[in-house]
Amino acid sequence: MSETVFDKIAATLPAPGTKRIALRVTPPAERSIRSGHPWVYGTSIEDESHPGAPGDLGVVFDRKGRFLAIGVYDPTSPIKLRVLHQGDAVKIDGAWFNQMLSTAIAKRKVLQDPSLAPTNGYRLVHGESDGFPGMVVDRYADTLVIKLYTPAWIPHLKSIVTGLRKAQPHNRLVLRLNRSMRKDPQFLFGLTDGQFLHGPALTGPVIFSENGLRFEADPISGQKTGFFLDQRENRSRVEQITRGCSVLNVFSYTGGFSVYAARGGATQVTSLDVSAPAMEAAERNWVLNLTNPNVAACEHETLVGDAFELMDDMARMKRKFDVVILDPPMFAQSASQVESALLAYQRLTRMGLDVLAFGGTLVQASCSARVAAESFFAAVEDAANGYKRTLREVRCTGHAVDHPIAFEGAAYLKCIFGKT
């Protein structure tokens, strides 16, 4: 049955263009492509053979007319070409996508090591860094979610869906479209955000496992594809430091860090987020794990509201926690916002320290790709020092195996653990 659903959808989608666009780019863009950077901005394209449609293949030739790179073209975006391959000339077709999908999925095999607690929620395809610029695929048990950030993938969707079915058998496939794509319905060919590409419709959230804990994800309307899979390893690290502790989890979303903290032996956990639906999910996620005696023994409080206001209130009431986790949304969207983002991170550090007990541990993360890891770590440490609360036994962490980093600028996640 599911086969026919996608067949019907696929019949309405455009086929990939047959005529490749020949492109010439500026010397700095050439160097950037050679260094492995996958984005070619429209402003650095000097010449193109003809106007193309989203998803057409574009070939960049160098100064000497030699093949430099091939990618998917997108006239609707400032990033006009997303590079699929650079170096020797290759043929991009269904077989290429199958091969790339198998390679990406094979990289994640380590997560299935039988000696590890079960994890069936993780990222299968991490965009640019797995050779699929502008596309991610996440797995939640037998549901896969494919999220597109450019209409350039639409003509190739049939190949991708076929390849995914072979490389990672699943029951259901959900399509998510990035907000910027939804503004331009003429390039969506009837596809909608949250649409089922195949498999039975969902009657509620999907339940999956992460390191043996159970969580729900809402692939249709949740943030990202339903869960912040990138924090899995940091959540495990938190579990290691919470025995006998009280824990404040700020920007908790659906309570991932909270449940790990409880399994680690925390006596009390407070989850705080501005999103009321996220907090309701955090409560359900807690209940899903009550079979674990540590979770059952731990007290869980949920607070819906603005993190800055609520942390201020707690500080005034002299409330203290042994572990404070700060995992805010992205603060810097562009290079011009880096300075203000660093100041905002420092403000958060100070606010976190105001509610951190003496000898407690501050865990602070940043997901702003624009903010370099070293700048972030230095800013947090400086803020703490200026506050006469030196961070000791500092650990700085980065990306997990399912969120690989293939080029400079791909690293966005960093997290600092500092004992005071």
Active site residues: 367
User: In what side-by-side order are the strands of the sheet with 246-250?
Assistant: 299-304, 268-273, 246-250, 321-326, 356-366, 414-419, 392-397
| Shortest CB 368 distance to ligand SAH, Å | 12
CA end-to-end distance (rounded Å), the chain: 58
Of residues 101 and 325, the one with the C-beta less far from ligand SAH: 325
Question: With binding defined as CB under 6 A, does residue 285 bind ligand SAH?
Answer: no
Window contacting ligand SAH (CB under 6 A); options: 131-139, 197-205, 271-279, 390-398: 271-279
| Pairing, β 356-366 against β 321-326 | parallel
Question: With binding defined as CB under 6 A, does residue 228 bind ligand SAH?
Answer: yes
Size of the site for ligand SAH (CB under 6 A): 18
Question: With binding defined as CB under 6 A, does residue 278 bind ligand SAH?
Answer: yes
Of residues 135 and 307, the one with the C-beta less far from ligand SAH: 307
Using CA atoms, how far residue 87 sits from 62, 83, 125, 140, 289, in Å, is 11, 11, 22, 35, 49
One of 280, 299, 301, 306 touching ligand SAH (CB under 6 A): 306
Question: With binding defined as CB under 6 A, does residue 74 bind ligand SAH?
Answer: no
Q: Which two tokens stand for residue 256?
A: 């991932």
One of 257, 260, 345, 377 touching ligand SAH (CB under 6 A): 257
238 burial type by CB count under 10 A (0-12 exposed, 13-18 middle, 19+ buried): buried
Name residues contacting ligand SAH, limited to 311-340 (CB under 6 A). 327-329
Question: With binding defined as CB under 6 A, does residue 218 bind ligand SAH?
Answer: no
Alpha-carbon gap, residue 212 to 118, rounded angstroms = 5
| Shortest CB 153 distance to ligand SAH, Å | 25
Of residues 274 and 288, the one with the C-beta less far from ligand SAH: 274
One of 256, 352, 360, 404 touching ligand SAH (CB under 6 A): 256
80 Cβ partners below 8 Å, 6+ apart?
40, 41, 42, 45, 58, 73, 74
Alpha-carbon gap, residue 357 to 184, rounded angstroms = 50
Question: With binding defined as CB under 6 A, does residue 253 bind ligand SAH?
Answer: yes
Question: With binding defined as CB under 6 A, does residue 307 bind ligand SAH?
Answer: yes
Considering only CA atoms, which of 317, 308, 305, 412 is closest in space to residue 350? 308
Alpha-carbon gap, residue 52 to 72, rounded angstroms = 10
169 Cβ partners below 8 Å, 6+ apart?
none
Question: With binding defined as CB under 6 A, does residue 27 bind ligand SAH?
Answer: no
Question: With binding defined as CB under 6 A, does residue 252 bind ligand SAH?
Answer: yes
Q: Which residues lie near ligand SAH (CB under 6 A)? A: 223, 228, 231, 251-254, 256-257, 273-275, 278, 306-307, 327-329
